[in-house]
Amino acid sequence: MFGLQKKDTTLLLVVAALALFAPFLLNPFPEGSAMAQFNAGYPDLMQRFVIFGIFAVGFNILFGLTGYLSFGHAAFLGVGSYSAVWMFKLLGYNVIPGIILSVIVAGLFSVVIGYVSLRRSGIYFSILTLAFAQMSYNMAYSVLGNPTSNFNLTNGETGLQVYTSDPQILASAGAPDLPHLFGLTMRSSYQLELGSWLFTFNAGYYLCAVLLLVSFYVAIRIFRSPFGLMLRAVKSNQQRMNYTGLNTRPYTLAAFVISGMYAGLAGGLLSTMDPLAGAERMQWTASGEVVLMTILGGAGTLIGPVLGAGFIKYFENIFSKINEGVLHAWFGFLPDGLENGVIWVVEHFVGPGWHLTLGLLFMLVVTFLPGGLVEGGQKIAALLSRRKSKDTDNRATQSTPAE
Amino acid sequence: MGILEVKNVNKRFGGLQALGDVNLSVAENTVHAIIGPNGAGKSTLLNCLVGKLIPDTGSVMFDGQSVLGRSPYEINQMGISRVFQTPEIFGDLTVMENMMIPCFAKRDGAFELNALNSVGNQKDIIERAEHMLEDMNMADKRHMHAASMSRGDKRRLEIGMCLSQEPRLLLLDEPTAGMARADTNNTIDLLKQIKQERDITIAIIEHDMHVVFSLAERITVLAQGTPLVEDTPDKIKGHPKVREAYLGESA
Ligand SMILES: Nc1ncnc2c1ncn2[C@@H]1O[C@H](COP(=O)(O)OP(=O)(O)OP(=O)(O)O)[C@@H](O)[C@H]1O
Ligand SMILES: [Mg+2]
């Protein structure tokens, strides 16, 4: 189907089903129960899952296939965000022009950065991309964002946002005063109450989810194409490629630009969900985050980056919300002295300490599962099927001893 | 005029004259061996032919066109393929994928943004690669990881990859170095068979005299960066200068 092999079609359909039913799947616990804080099925977080999923899927086309590790992809995310907000300011709140422009501008931007950075490989490439991204961050924060100058592209510290004085030349009279898709605002949600469960279906989330599916589909096509094969060849042996009559430079540049456009799309969607773009989106921590997502999920695999993005965003939003009060409620059954001791320990791993938990998990995964969460899944699947095939082997040898 | 004409090539590395006034002419459809003691400049000469090094002076013409100043991929597209001293293959990919890549390079040129077609649909490429694998006697290994094969098989694959591009000139840098006797003999047989089956010029650098005398029609002896003699294998065998160069090296 869709020009894909059976295995890939299945994968795409699974991702589609997960995206469609995410509001149910992510809200397994009833409202008001002690576990409810582990529910992730609220619009804001679900949007983040898919947006950063898009970001990581694109990053993986560069890093997973060619092995070029960019430490500056947040620059494209930021550029995409600013572009979308500019469209809201100039044309109006319909999200289509913003999303399109964010992809185009990020693409152009990545042609320039990629052209220069790809003259080097390995650590020098990474450092160059990092330098470019930090430069972009500083420019966005100060030089290009001085509110008193005539050339204020980014609105500096405050962040770029839409003011009532903005032209919005395409905005029709009755159009909502929020990002919308032909009148359907991104904030609009439908809530479904089933017993003590509450499920929220949000328009913005579903827009992002559709775009994630499209992005994922394109990524599968690229992975299976001759172009994808060449990118894997770049990672494997550039010398052999050159002496086989292949010019590696345009291959790596194309991969860089494609992944930059994915980042731009993700940035544009962030602004679409919340029309305020700040420079911090370009900071090196944001670039590092997408690296973590990709490696944690499984670089070079199709589904890995999506898993990694979900995993990290879940931690960031759920673990960081567990505070002392919550811990007291959990460990209240323990004797007082012990309770305080346990809480003192656990406290360092939750709330603002969630980074510590994530760091430890990352270390564990990289050490024991270099192929990321996907490798973990494969190992479990292999264990299960080995057990199963042992059974069938036994049966087979009994029935057909000749084999 | 030979298919490959090297004229007055000099190359210095700092104070070391690696190549001094090298003249070499390789005739079309012959096997031409370049021999010489360690450090004679054989690999340096080869690197000057494929764009890895640029000679300080002199000219290198392939089929009437200069190769100097071109990048390795351009020189390859002109029709020169190179086999390395240690096999250079795509270790992370399967044997079949390894074989398909040069087929793509031959069909689509140095760069082609073929991003939405599936590799599985490229019937002509698959057919060509499979054919080549059969020629190389490797069809049963097509799904193997290239890195997991024996050195002899890697060499065989690399030669096959080069041949699938139908090069006019095949350059081999010590193709049997570090190989067991059996693998060496296999490689000799393979090269003989290749030579018989197609119009191809082969230039080979080799230390193993058994290999050289089994294959070569012409031999150039290089010593300290300069060609000493060039002649047929029979004449080279008893040549006093050749003995001197090799004995002088070991003495
Ligand atoms: N890139 C380089 N930089 C400096 N010196 C070099 C370089 N490449 C080769 N040389 C020197 O040039 C001389 C010729 O080297 P070359 O590798 O061409 O010899 P060779 O004939 O291939 O020897 P071998 O039989 O050992 O492979 C040697 O003295 C070597 O040390
Ligand atoms: Mg050498």
- Mind listing the pLDDT tens digit for each residue in A20-32? 999 999 999 998 8
Is the pLDDT at A1 greater than 70? The verdict is no
Instruction: Tell me if B47 is assigned to some domain.
Output: yes
- pLDDT more than 70, % of chain B: 98
Closest residue to B100, CB basis, from A229, A240, A241 = A229
pLDDT at A33: 83
pLDDT at A175: 85
- The verdict on the CB of residue B173 being under 6 Å from ligand 1 is no
What is the overall mean pLDDT for chain B?
A: 91
User: Shortest CA distance to A257 belongs to which of A67, A65, A113?
Assistant: A113
- Domain CATH code at residue B76: 3.40.50.300
Closest-CA residue of chain B to A234: B90
Closest residue to A221, CB basis, from B76, B115, B122 = B115
Give residue-wise pLDDT tens across range A7-17: 999 999 999 99
CB-CB under 8 Å, B108 with A225: no
Instruction: Tell me if B136 is assigned to some domain.
Output: no
Q: To test the ligand 1 pocket, which listed residue (B10, B22, B42) has its Cβ within 8 A of the most ligand atoms?
A: B42
pLDDT at A319: 84
Report the alpha-carbon distance of residue A329 to residue B226 in Å, rounded: 86
Instruction: Tell me if B20 is assigned to some domain.
Output: yes
Instruction: Tell me if B142 is assigned to some domain.
Output: no
Give residue-wise pLDDT tens across range A66-122: 999 999 999 999 999 999 999 999 999 999 999 999 999 999 999 999 999 999 999
Closest residue to A247, CB basis, from B81, B111, B122 = B111
Residue A6 contacts B where some CB pair is shorter than 8 Å: no
Instruction: Give the CA-trace dihedral at B193, B195, B200, B204, to 10 degrees.
Output: 100
Instruction: Tell me if B146 is assigned to some domain.
Output: no
Give the closest-approach CA distance of A32 to chain B in angstroms.
Answer: 48
pLDDT at A395: 52
Is the pLDDT at B175 greater than 70? The verdict is yes
pLDDT bin (cut points 50, 70, 90) of residue B250 is very low
Instruction: Tell me if B72 is assigned to some domain.
Output: yes
pLDDT at A12: 96
pLDDT at A346: 85
Give residue-wise pLDDT tens across range A249-286: 999 999 999 999 999 999 999 999 999 999 999 999 99
pLDDT bin (cut points 50, 70, 90) of residue A401 is very low
Structural domain count, chain B: 1
CB-CB under 8 Å, A251 with B90: no
Bridge partners for B11 per DSSP: B19
- The verdict on the CB of residue B49 being under 6 Å from ligand 1 is no
Instruction: Tell me if B134 is assigned to some domain.
Output: no
Q: Which residues, at least 6 apart from A139, have a Cβ–Cβ distance to it below 8 Å? A: A154
Average pLDDT on B21-47 reads: 93
What is the pTM assigned to this prediction?
A: 0.92
Closest-CA residue of chain A to B108: A246
Q: What share of chain B is helix, strand, coil (3-state, %, to 5)?
A: 40, 25, 35
Give residue-wise pLDDT tens across range B47-68: 999 999 999 999 999 999 999 9
**What pairing do the DSSP bridges indicate for beta strands B218-223 and B4-13?**
unpaired
Closest-CA residue of chain B to A65: B92
User: Where exactly are the structural domains of chain A?
Assistant: 6-300
pLDDT bin (cut points 50, 70, 90) of residue B147 is very high
Is the pLDDT at A394 greater than 60? The verdict is no
Domain of B66, in residue numbers: 4-95+152-247
Ranking A52-66, A371-385, B25-39, B231-245 by mean pLDDT, the lowest is: B231-245
Average pLDDT on A292-318 reads: 94
Give the closest-approach CA distance of B111 to chain A in angstroms.
Answer: 6
Alpha helix stretches (DSSP H) within A225-247 = 226-236, 238-242
User: Shortest CA distance to A285 belongs to which of A75, A48, A145, A54?
Assistant: A75
Instruction: Tell me if B126 is assigned to some domain.
Output: no
Report the alpha-carbon distance of residue A41 to residue A23 in Å, rounded: 5
Q: What share of chain A is helix, strand, coil (3-state, %, to 5)?
A: 70, 5, 25
